[in-house]
Structure 1
Amino acid sequence: MAIKTRHIDEETQFSDLDWRLIRFSPIPLYLAADNKWRKNNNELAAVDLGSEKASKYELNQAITN
């Protein structure tokens, strides 16, 4: 798993590097903000629904749980 901090401001929620990591990282990615931008905590997760591999299915299940 990779953990990356990022700065959130009113204009930009994700940097170009954030988007590249979201799209192309071969390992699970957690983007942590250095400041709060909402009152509630949110988590964004991506799963690979196109794969039929057992390992991907297990990872998808773990992420959604």
Structure 2
Amino acid sequence: MRKITTRIVHFFIESKVINETDREIYEYGLEILSENVMLTVFLLLFGVAIGRGIETGIFLFSF
């Protein structure tokens, strides 16, 4: 996951979207965001697999 976030941040720096000095902050933020998204998707898929997809979705999106 770290390689992907590093490449995305490098692309942003080359595109002049962010400054080089903020590299670590953006890498950390993208890493946390991607881990949270992957966890949410996994939990939704697990909920569907056990037959509780709607309940799992309501639970996750209520917070």
Shorter-chain TM-score bucket reads under 0.3
Higher helix share: 2
TM-score (norm 2): 0.27
The TM-score with structure 1 as length reference comes to 0.26
- Give the greater-gyration-radius structure (CA): 2
Structure ranking higher on relative contact order (CA contacts 8 Å, 6+ apart): 1
More strand by share: 1
